[in-house]
Amino acid sequence: MDDKIDRLKEIVANSKHLVAFTGAGISAESGIPTYRGTGGIWTKYDPAKYANVQYFLKDPSYYWRFFRDVRYPSLKQAQPSAAHYVLVELEKQGILSLVITQNIDGLHQMAGQSNVCGLHGNTRQIKCTDCKSMFPMDTVYEQLEKELPPHCSCGGLLRPNVVLFGESLPQEALMEAWQAAEECDTFLVVGSSLVVYPAAQIPVRAKEHGASLVIVNIDETPLDPMADLVIHQSASEALVPLK
């Protein structure tokens, strides 16, 4: 495995325009429970309900109770992992130009990453469904004691600024991701199983446009065969040696 890490160091050192693509794996060491985690309060709420737009519109209180009891406490105690900070460091060195993320936990931004393209939004931001005003989650959390579901001063229902099941991805973020994939010289996947759209396509686009494709993920991914380097380790195990 050490020679793979050496190869990763070499690729990154020779890269002038690196784009990282991150998934749940980079936040696994940050105390963010996964949808599939067993045990605990998390499992009392069904993602087919709290993360589904049709269900949200039918019964928004279900999401907001989940937010109050589960998501908010987990976001408050979550800290960026060592891997998040390595990506910040690569950005400061002028090597990394963009982080494209499937995650909604806001940990890249918390770590100090400047250029983040969130394909699925950010669950720390709350948006009015009518006037589109944005609110920080702490403000809305306090509001939940008095009002469930919470509303904007304009009367509109508040919702998380994330892509729910049944909604399409934000076009602007998607366009930015495609363009970055075409322009980068190294495309570094970190902690994504690369099975869902667009995760399964964006790295392919990068490879087709001449980038080196590196995949860091605990488990195998469908794109492993086309990658220049595959490291089956945790995000921090693979990235921390780059510091």
Q: Which is nearer to Zn ion, 39 or 155 (CB)?
A: 155
Residue 25 or 150 with smaller CB distance to Zn ion? 150
DSSP states of 175-227: HHHHHHHHH-SEEEEES----STTTTTHHHHHHHTT-EEEEE-SS--TTGGG-
How many other CB atoms are found less than 10 A from the CB of residue 155?
A: 9
Total residue count of the chain as it appears in this document: 243
Rounded CA-CA distance 104/110 in Å is 12
Helix (H) or strand (E) segment spanning residue 229: strand 229-231
Name which of 130 and 147 has its Cβ closer to Zn ion: 130
Q: Work out whether 226 is an interface residue with Zn ion (CB under 5 A).
A: no
Residue 48 or 57 having the CB closest to Zn ion: 57
Q: Tell me the window of 101-109, 153-161, 187-195, 215-223 that interacts with Zn ion (CB under 5 A).
A: 153-161
Name which position in 13, 53, 154, 226 contacts Zn ion (CB under 5 A).
154
Q: Does 131 bind Zn ion (CB under 5 A)?
A: yes
Give residue 2's identity as a one-letter amino acid code.
D
Q: How far is the CB of 155 from Zn ion (least distance, A)?
A: 7
When asked if residue 134 is in the footprint of Zn ion (CB under 5 A), the reply is no
Q: Identify the DSSP state of 167.
A: S
- Say whether residue 86 binds Zn ion (CB under 5 A): no
Q: How far is the CB of 134 from Zn ion (least distance, A)?
A: 10
158 binds Zn ion (CB under 5 A): no
Pairing outcome for strands 18-22 and 116-118:
unpaired
Cα-based distances in Å from 239 to 6, 8, 26, 62, 191: 11, 9, 10, 38, 11
Residue 41 binding Zn ion, by CB under 5 A: no
Size of the site for Zn ion (CB under 5 A): 7
Q: Among residues 156, 179, 207, 233, which is the contact residue for Zn ion, using CB under 5 A?
A: 156
* 151 catalytically annotated: no
Query: Which amino acid appears at position 100 of this protein?
Result: I
Contact 35, 47 (CB under 8 A): yes
Which of 17, 108, 120, 151 is flagged as catalytic? 120
48 vs 154 by CB, closer to Zn ion: 154
Residue 126 contacts Zn ion per CB under 5 A: no
Which among 54-62, 128-136, 169-177, 201-209 is the span making contact with Zn ion, rule CB under 5 A? Answer: 128-136
- Cα–Cα nearest to 111, from 19, 177, 26: 26
Interacting residues toward Zn ion by CB under 5 A: 128, 130-131, 133, 152, 154, 156
Catalytic positions: 120
